Every structure is written in C-alpha cells, then in structure tokens.
Amino acid sequence: MKRILRKSMLSTAIILASAQAYGAGFQITYQSAEGIGRANSGEGAIGNSAAAGARNPAALSLLDNAGVSGGLTFVRPQVDISGSLTTGQTFNHESVAQDGLVPNFHYASPLNESLAVGVSLGSFYGTTTEFPSDSPAGAQTGETSLTTINANLYGAYKVNQAISVGAGVNYVKADAKMVRTAGVLANGINVQIPGLGATATTKIVEVEGDANGFGWNVGALWQLNDSNRFAVSYRSRVDLTFDGDFKGLSSNLQPTNAELKIELPELIELSGYHQLNQALAVHYTAALTGWDSFQELRATSTGCQDGICLQKDEKWEDSWKYSVGLTYGVSDMLTIRGGIALDQSPVQQEYRTMSIPDADRMRYSLGATVGLSSQFTIDAGMAYVDSDAEQGEEVLTSSNPALKASFMSESTALIFALQANYNF
C-alpha cells in the first residue's frame, strides 16, 4: 500500500497547482489593484503609491511623501476536470477551485532625500481546490489548500538623480492541508487490508502542516529622465520545511509526524516605463520564475514504511511571463489603464496531473484610479484569465501502471480588486 500512498499523495503539504492562484505554477500576483489593472506590466518601474516597493524596493525613491495602501482582491475561478479511467468509469468535476480573497497592505516613507523605508504584507503563493469526495479518481484529486503570508521589510537608497537601489528581507509563513480518498482503489485496498471496508470516500491520506522561512530581495531603478525609466528586481528562493500531522496507508492509518522540504522559486523581473506625452504612458515587464527548484516532492517520517511517506518527481522548468500595458490620465482626478499578459506554464506535458492541471494562460486587464482628494485615491482593477485547455494521462497507483486516468482540464477566472491609498 506504500506505492498507492506515494502516488495518491501528490501534493502533500502544498497544492502546487494553478487553479486559484492564476499565476504560473501556484504564484499569486495580486500585490495591488493598480497592478492588476495593468496586468502587472511595468512592475518595479512605476511608483504611484506605497505599494511601489512590493515588487522592487528601489521604486520607493519615486515617492515624495509617506503613504499607506491597503486592498482586497477577489478571485472567482472556474476550473473543470473531466475524463475516464481504464476501468471504464468516467468523471466530470466542475468548479473544483474555490473562490479566494487575497488582502494586501503597504506602508512607505522617505527618511530624507536619499533614503526611504517600507513594509508590505500580502501573499505570493496560494490556492484551494476541492473535488467530490466520491470521485473515482479520488487518489489523485481530493481536497488541498495552501495559504501563505509574506512580510517584506525593505529600504531604498538614491545613489544620484539617475540610479536608485534597494534591498529587503522576507518572512514567509505557510499553512497547508490535504485529503485524498480511495476512489477506484477501494477494492484493491480491501484485498490488501481485510476488514477495512474501504469505499470510494474512505480517506487514505490526511495531512496538515505549517512552515516558516526567510528570503531576501534586491532591486535597482535607472531614470533616464522624468519620462523614461527601467527597473530590475530579484526575489530569492525561500526554503520551507513543512512539519505536520500525517495519517495514511503507509503509516497503517495511524497518526504520525511527517516532514517535507520545498523551495519557493526565485523571481527576476525586468520592467520599463515611458511617458509618451502629458496623458499617455506605456509600460512592460518580462519576468522569469525559477520553477526548476521544484523537482520532486519527498515527505519522510519514522512512522511511515521505509521512512518515506511520499516520493514524487515533478520536474518543473523555469517559465516566463510577458506583459504590456497603457495608462491614460483623463484628468487630475481620473486615470485609466489596461494591459495584457502571457504567463507560461512550468509544467512539462508528461508530468501534468489532475491536481496540477497547469497551462499557459492569457490575462486581459482593465483598471482606474479615482482621486477623492489630493491625498486620498481609490484604485480598482479587474482581469479575465483564459488558460489553454490541456489533456493529460496519469497513473493512479505505481503498483498497477495499467490503471490510468485520461483527463481534460479547462479553466478561466475573473479577478476584481479595490485599493485605498493615502499620502501623508
């Protein structure tokens, strides 16, 4: 039964899926409503509010006054998974990704003409999916959730009128839960464990855990003049060791403590901003996420058979995101913006699974800023995300490679965000 568990516990401590995150892999890009409204184009090179430092600490040098910014992003995904098993059963699971609400908060303050500091609270990773408990493919679907909180303290230094640099430290707290059910494996489990009486809804994996980790980030800003600037930023990998309670087939259904180590990926962003005239600006970003850090999932415990609760190759690859947008100042009190982005998937076709149905996606965004006073503004942003439909094939248990699920995944999402900004 160890082999059944290893294959069914695909995502133990974290989902590592894209269903709700709606960035490649399981990345969240909802640090501000303004950024959502322009498809995150120009990140790091635009410094309109206290949220400027969340993606590039050097962008704090663009602020003239101390400010605070806070907002909420609502994500409504539609993820459908359908397919069939080699045993003849079929499945059609709709809306397996859960709605999500992602908050953010930022504060920034210049200390003098050269120095500025800031802090940001939010999330860069997270998702929630829930399949029906009686799914015949329950060993590969089930329920999985990941919640992370990222606290980033950073500062910026203006070297001269053209060059600014910045650096910061990140603290990440993560909580995760996963449940897997027997599904079509129930009969085989009953043969190997007489008297268990397993059905399709019998839980064969239950795990909850949490982790803490630290990372760092740096950035630079180059201003050619008041109308043209470029930015580069880097966010380091974060090592996380999930420690939690595990109960599954490899532990003879007895509770035990298990450990799993992963690395959240590094992120490099290159951005540009150009004020074409008094009203119109264009901005763009190319971002590389180092998903090659995610090569396998391996969970261990002295309470599991041979000390291994999970061993699963993932073999993700680095992926790029490209975005471009426009901002137009209608008046002193109203600014509108829009953007489009292509987000490439890090998942190789042969490693695509039902719990990780990641795919290339396009994002189409619109947004606006309304000035209620010279100090108080409201940002609104919305986006539509359309992911490529993808097919996949997955072995349900390594003890019987002939038992497979062939599936099709389709997903879209609507994203809505509001942000309040106040300059002191």
Of 7 and 321, more confident? 321
What's the whole-number mean pLDDT along residues 243-265?
Answer: 84
Domain ranges of the chain: 2-423
Question: Residue 206 half-sphere exposure, CB side, CA atoms within 13 Å?
Answer: 11
Burial of 337 (0-12, 13-18, 19+ CB in 10 A): buried
The sign of the CA dihedral 247, 250, 253, 254 is negative
6 vs 421, higher pLDDT: 421
Average pLDDT over the chain reads 86
What is the spatial distance between Cα 92 and Cα 76, in angstroms, rounded to a whole number? 20
Query: CA nearest 187: which of 200, 177, 171, 201?
Result: 200
Task: Name the range with the highest mean pLDDT among 55-69, 126-140, 254-268.
Answer: 55-69
Closest Cα partner for 255 from 203, 297, 211? 203
Write down the pLDDT at residue 376: 95
CA distance 293 to 318: 9
CATH number of the 2-423 domain: 2.40.160.60
Residue 264 has φ and ψ, to the nearest 5°, of -65, 140
CA distance 292 to 358: 15
**Which whole number is the average pLDDT over 341-352?**
85
Q: What is the DSSP letter of 302?
A: T
Q: Read off the pLDDT band of 65 (50, 70, 90).
A: very high
Confidence check: pLDDT of 52 > 80: yes
Question: Encoding tokens for residue 122?
Answer: 């939010």
Q: Could you tell me if 26 and 126 are in contact, meaning their C-beta atoms sit under 8 angstroms apart?
A: yes
**Among 182, 53, 174, which residue's Cα sits nearest to residue 124?**
174
Alpha-carbon span 32 to 104, nearest angstrom: 7
Q: Are 322 and 42 a contacting pair, CB within 8 Å?
A: no
Q: What is the model's pTM?
A: 0.86
- With cut-offs at 50, 70 and 90, classify the pLDDT of residue 24: low
